[in-house]
Amino acid sequence: MITMKINGVEVKAEEGWTILETARFYGLEIPTLCHHEGLTPYGGCRLCLVEIGEGPRAKLVSSCTYPAEEGLVVHTDTKRVVQARRMMIELMLSVAPYSKVIQDLASKFGVTRMRFKIRNEECILCGLCVRMCEEQMDGKAIGFQNRGYQRKISTPFDLRSEECRLCGGCIYICPACQLRCQGPQAETAICNACLTMEPTCLDFYDELQCWMYDAGRCGTCVREKKS
């Protein structure tokens, strides 16, 4: 067993577990998007970021790919994590504004602005479909093409694939295919229809997650510690 600390609580993890698995085992919520229990961890969406280490050497890593290590100190909802996570959601919104999953994430994590030009690609290249096709459906019909800003998911040479059995696994697992609900602000880039409640916490909890998984929006829980 590996002993480590998550949010100040001592936890035990099995050999081979990731930080995410350990946290979830203890009921701690870490948001994910490109992660799926039946598929190999990918680490592409950067939503599951957590802060590891302490002091100047503390850094952010994706918890879905980072193995549990003896003596590791993990914080799941520091200000640093929340800020980076929000920027990731904002970036995802800018390329897939019509996805319900991403709109919901925006509401949940208090992303109320989207400051980039919309480039609606209906895909955030999370790679779920590619892994689904390969690992669960044994199809390998689709894959990534190119790199950097030209990266896309397609069949080889963009032709109808002979490997594809039209099983629909890729569509089933896609977080961007599902259309957003037509809420009160359907025309805008950001819906936020579900963002109705304001957090009510009044006190400062350094090592606790916000019960709304929304640390930082109201500012109470992440403000600087009074000395």
Partner 1 sequence: MKRIKKFKNVEELKKAIEQQEAARQQEKKKRVIVVSSGTCGQARGSLKVIEALKKALREEGLKDQVAIRITGCHGFCEAEPNLIIYPDRIFYQKLTPPDVRTIVKETLVEGRVVEKFLHRDPLTKERAWYENEIPFYQKQKRIVLGDNVFVDPTSLLEYLAIGGFRPFIKVLTRMKPEEIIQTVKQSGLRGRGGAGFPTGLKWEATRRAPGDIKYIICNGDEGDPGAYMDRSVLEGNPYRVLEGMMIGALAIGAREGYLYVRDEYPLAVRHVTLALEQLYKAGLLGEKILGTDFSLDLHLAKGAGAFVCGEETALIASIEGRVGEPRQRPPFPAQKGLWRKPTCINNVETWANIPLIMLNGADWFSSIGTSGSKGTKIFSLVGKINNTGLVEVPMGITLREIIYDIGGGIPEGKAFKAVQTGGPSGGCLPASMLDQIIDYESLTAAGSIMGSGGMIVMDEKTCMVDVAKYFLNFLRDESCGKCISCREGTQRMWEIVRDITEGLGQPGDLELLEELALATKEASMCGLGQTAANPVLSTLRYFRDEYEAHIYEKRCPAGVCKNLIRYAVIPEKCTGCEACKRACPTGAIQGTRKDVHLILYDKCIKCGACLEACRFEAIEAQREEAITIVREVKP
44: contact with partner 1 by CB under 8 A: yes
57: contact with partner 1 by CB under 8 A: no
2: contact with partner 1 by CB under 8 A: no
Q: Minimum CB separation from partner 1 for residue 46, in Å? A: 5
Token duo for residue 133: 């096709």
Q: Minimum CB separation from partner 1 for residue 200, in Å? A: 28
Distances in Å between the Cα of 197 and the Cα atoms of 152, 179, 201 are 37, 23, 12
The C-alpha angle with vertex 77 and arms to 107 and 84, in degrees rounded to 5, equals 65
Q: How many residues bind partner 1 (CB under 8 A)?
A: 43
Q: Minimum CB separation from partner 1 for residue 119, in Å? A: 9
83: contact with partner 1 by CB under 8 A: yes
Residue 49 or residue 129: which is nearer to partner 1 going by CB? 49
- Considering only residues 96 to 155 of the shown chain, the ones binding partner 1 according to CB under 8 A are 114-118, 124-127, 144, 146-151
Distances in Å between the Cα of 12 and the Cα atoms of 9, 17, 23, 108, 211 are 10, 10, 10, 29, 23
> Under the rule (CB under 8 A), what is the footprint of partner 1?
41-46, 49, 59-62, 65-67, 69, 80, 83-85, 87-88, 91-92, 94-95, 114-118, 124-127, 144, 146-151, 188-189
